[in-house]
Structure 1
Amino acid sequence: MCLRAVTDAPINSTQVLLAFCAGMAAGTITIVPGGLGIIDSALILGLVTGGVDTPTAIAAVVLYRIISFGFIIGAGWITWLIMRGRHREHLAAMTVPE
């Protein structure tokens, strides 16, 4: 869907699936959190090898990583902040005045 969002060119789903599998395979051997750089380059290389032009492949992969990685991190931070606020409220309620 990210590739479709950045181009109107015909997309072969087999090539996209192979690029995705290559990215996920590259992600299994990475030591970098979230596979930053390694998965991205494997996805771009897979798409370019499949016939997508380089700027379109880069734009699609950046959009995909923003959605699949960036939003997850943002949701995690928001959840942590909510939990932290509730924990502070709970500790304040348990404090007994002398």
Structure 2
Amino acid sequence: MAVSESVAVNFWIERVKGRKIREICAAYDVDPRRLYEVFAGQVHPSSLDKARRELEEHSPSLLNSPKLRFHQPTRQVVKRASDLQYDLFTGANR
């Protein structure tokens, strides 16, 4: 199901107010991937600015929330087992 821009604005507001992702998904009957598309700025990037304007009018204390910015996933480098383990089976280091 595609998310409209007004719903995307509501996602931002709900997120800043502290609702959990699963609660937002249940309330709007959407897949969590749709939320993350909005929070990453892939869908309706202008919804963040509209949410800020709406919060400025109704709840200015929430404007400093760290959740009121685009989500940037942290990329963790997974270290693989060294190639030396492979050498145990091939006998390359003997």
Q: TM-score range by the shorter chain?
A: 0.3 to 0.5
Q: Structure 2-normalised TM-score?
A: 0.37
Structure with higher helix content:
1
